[in-house]
Each structure stands twice: as C-alpha cells, then as structure tokens.
Amino acid sequence: MDPLRQSPSPSSSRASSPRTLPCEMLGYVGIEAVLDQLKIKAMKMGFEFNIMVVGQSGLGKSTMVNTLFKSKMWKSTMLGLGVPTPQTLQLQSVTHVIEESGVKLKLTVTDTPGFGDQINNDKCWDPILGYINEQYEQYLQEEILITRQRHIPDTRVHCCVYFVPPTGHCLRPLDIEFLQRLCRTVNVVPVIARADSLTIEEREAFRHRVIWAPGTSLGSVGVWRGGECTGGLRSPVCGPQIQENLKTHGIEVYPQKCLDEDVNDKVLNSKIRERIPFAVVGADREHIVNGRCVLGRKTKWGIIEVENMAHCEFPLLRDLLIRSHLQDLKDITHNVHYENYRIFRLNESHVLPRGPGWVNLAPAPASVPAPAGPQATPGPPKVCRWAKDNSDEEF
C-alpha cells in the first residue's frame, strides 16, 4: 500500500483514530439517508473537470475532445496554407458548462497547439508544466488565505491525455521525456491517436510485448476474440513496445499501481492497465450504417465507427474518463499531486538562506523541477523540523 495514501505520518499522532467500539444497531435508524443528502448537495453544487490534451498537430486532439463530449468544443483546426505554424507552444483553454439529467458539469479543456512541432523540441514540456504548476499555485494561494471562499474554484488539471502518434514501433524520445516528467505532476492517460491506420494485430503488438503465444493472459482479455489475436504475427516488431517502454522508464500512467487501495480497485485497474494505451479514433460527423446513425469516419474502404468496440477503443477511453473514474481522477489530483506540490512549495521557502530580506514567494518558477513521485518525499528531516518549529512559534 502506498504510504502516502494509507498510513498517517508519524507526526500526526493526534489525528489517529481513537479506539472505536463496534456497535450493533437493533433496528433501522436511517443513517443511509446521508447518501441522498450527499447526492442532493453534489447536484446543487455542480461538478468541475479540467482536462488537457497534448500531442503534435494533426493527431486529432480537437476532434477527440469534440467526440468525447459530443459537442463542438472547438472548431476542428485546419490551418490554411498561408498561416504559419505557431513558433512557440501556446496553451488555449476553453470552458463550457454541460448538463445531463440534472447534473451540471463545468468542463475546461486545455489544448496545446504547437507541441512537438518545431525542429528543436527541447524543453517543449516546460510551458505545459508551468501551466499545471500555475494552477496548483493558484489553488494553494486561495487555500492559505485567512478569509477563504466557501468553495475554492478548482482549475487544476485533473487529467492529461497524451496522444502518441501511430508509428507502430515504440515510443519516441520526445514521448518518453514528456511522459517521464508529467506523470509525476498530473494524471496522464496515453492514447494511440489515429488508430485507424493500424491493423488490430499491429495495435496489439504496439501495445504489448514482442512475442506472445495463445493461451497467455493477453489472449483472454475482454472483447478481443481469441481467433483474431492468435492468428500469428503478421508484422513481427523489432523493438520493445509501449507498455514495456513505460515500465523501463518508470513512467506511471493513470491508473497508478501504487495508488490502488483495495482488492476491487486492483482488479478493476489492472484490467484497465492491460489496455493502456487505448487506440482511439475521433470523429464528429455522423453517418448512416445499417439504418443507425453513428459517429464515424467515412473512407473509401468503409466506415469506421467510433463507438464500436470492434473498431476502436474509444468507448473504453470515454468510460474511463467520464463514466467510472472521473471522481477518482479528481481525488488523486487533489490528494496526491496537489499535496506533493504543496509540500514542495512550502519546503522551498525554508530551504533558502535566512537573509535580512526574504525571497519573494509570489511568482512560482515556470520550470519547477517535478517533485519526487508519489512514494518519495523531499527532505523528511527538514519537514519534521519545520513542522515542529511551526507549532512552537505560531501557537
């Protein structure tokens, strides 16, 4: 179990649960009505969700967002001939309020046009990291005010969807660098974009290891019928594939293995982890197939249905992001990533030498070196010492 999520820190002995006595109730009291109360409160307040899409241009990010939320978030960007590609990475955010069955969701989507488009892509992740940290900083500043708002507006990025181009080989150095840095600051969900250019076998190979045989656990995964998988490899691949890549470089994408709480979580999440990264296709046009109106891409050799599990894994992505793990994404952002950022920021101001004038704390540096992952903590002795100082001096 991850120490950060489970056991309280040793200095919080006051906060540990008191000795509890389990009691049997002799009849119905009505405690479970609190669930309804929760629901009513949640519906009244509404929900917030912030998602960021990162990837090179032309991978279908805007289309994917439109497909996910079934509405025109943006006009699909199609740069004309005369328009120059953006020289630097710019981040664009757009916010919408969507409602379904009485549930209001304030959705903010941040796009990153220009990512990885230049010739020299060195440090192209810095603006993105800066933006994410800026949101954390805003929340932190709101939280440490003396008179704070009843409900602090949450602009922190809850999920970052990273679009991997469908090369069929392995993750590129740019991908690896980016993922390594970002997975420690934000929940990253990598997807294989434009997956309609890969065949089913190529997809599997891209995703999993090089050699596998029928009868292994891979063959029995969910929807994929054994016949298609075990038909032998048509394109034996030469290098390690994405999951191995991720493992080799220590990249923990969402759902993070170290944050699984109990057996149910583990089972559910390992199923998801098997399918990461999802091979998705985005489309916002509707076509008629077999008398039904479906979202899809029409090509000369057929219509690729976006919502058909046999064609692409878009439904899995949608379910993960919206239907089952949205709250979990927000929780992990709040409890793990934001806390890491906070620890880092609060420590930073005391690592600096105590001079006659203190360092201006207001602007957070754009390229904050990503704090250590969910397991490690920066400088525990300093933390403990400061916490003790804090309690002595202030109160």
Partner 1 sequence: MATKTAHMSPQVFDNEEKQKKETTRSLAMSGHVGFESLPDQLVNRSIQQGFCFNILCVGETGIGKSTLIDTLFNTNFEDHESSHFYPHVRLKAQTYELQESNVRLKLTIVNTVGFGDQINKEESYQPIVDYIDAQFEAYLQEELKIKRSLFNYHDSRIHVCLYFISPTGHSLKTLDLLTMKSLDSKVNIIPVIAKADAISKTELQKFKVKLMSELVSNGVQIYQFPTDDETIAKINASMNGHLPFAVVGSMDEVKVGNKMVKARQYPWGIVQVENENHCDFVKLREMLICTNMEDLRDETHTRHYELYRRRKLEETGLTDTGPENKPLSLQETYEAKRHEFYGERQRKEEEMKQLFVQRVKEKEAVLKEAERELQAKFEHLKRVHQEEKLRLEEKRRLLEEEIIAFSKKKATSEIYQNQPFMTPGGNVRKDKDRKNSSFM
Q: Segment 156-175, which members bind partner 1 (CB under 8 A)?
A: none
Helix (H) or strand (E) holding 53: strand 47-54
Judged by CB under 8 A, the residue of 57, 138, 180, 335 near partner 1 is 335
Judged by CB under 8 A, the residue of 2, 177, 244, 328 near partner 1 is 328
C-alpha of 295 from chain center:
25
Kindly report the number of other CB atoms within 10 A of residue 29's CB atom: 8
Determine the size of the site formed for partner 1 (CB under 8 A). Answer: 97
In order, the DSSP letters of 242-290 are HHHHHHHTT--PSSPGGG--SHHHHHHHHHHHHHPSEE------EEEET
* Amino acid of residue 326: L
In order, the DSSP letters of 343-394 are HHHHHHHHHS---SSPPP-SSPPTTPPPPP-SS--S-HHHHHHHHHHHHHHH
- Residue 95 in contact with partner 1, rule: CB under 8 A: yes
Q: Give dist(CA 262, CA 328) in Å, integer.
A: 14
Are residues 168 and 238 in contact, defined by beta-carbon separation less than 8 angstroms? no
Radius of gyration of the chain (CA): 24
Judged by CB under 8 A, the residue of 301, 323, 353, 369 near partner 1 is 323
Kindly report the number of other CB atoms within 10 A of residue 367's CB atom: 13
Stretch that binds partner 1, among 154-162, 211-219, 266-274, 354-362 (CB under 8 A): 354-362
Stretch that binds partner 1, among 113-121, 183-191, 205-213, 344-352 (CB under 8 A): 344-352
Stretch that binds partner 1, among 55-63, 81-89, 242-250, 360-368 (CB under 8 A): 360-368
Judged by CB under 8 A, the residue of 90, 235, 375, 390 near partner 1 is 390
Judged by CB under 8 A, the residue of 1, 79, 94, 210 near partner 1 is 94
Q: Which is nearer to partner 1, 69 or 162 (CB)?
A: 69
Judged by CB under 8 A, the residue of 362, 365, 369, 381 near partner 1 is 362
Judged by CB under 8 A, the residue of 29, 83, 119, 263 near partner 1 is 29
Q: Which residue has the tokens 């046999």?
A: 310
Judged by CB under 8 A, the residue of 174, 233, 372, 387 near partner 1 is 387
- Residue 72 in contact with partner 1, rule: CB under 8 A: yes
- Residue 292 in contact with partner 1, rule: CB under 8 A: no
**Strand-pair category, 292-299 with 286-289:** antiparallel
Q: Which is nearer to partner 1, 212 or 386 (CB)?
A: 386
Binding mask 240-279 for partner 1 (x = CB under 8 A): ---------------------x------------------
3-class DSSP assignment, residue 230: coil
Residues 127-146, interacting with partner 1 (CB under 8 A): 141, 144-146
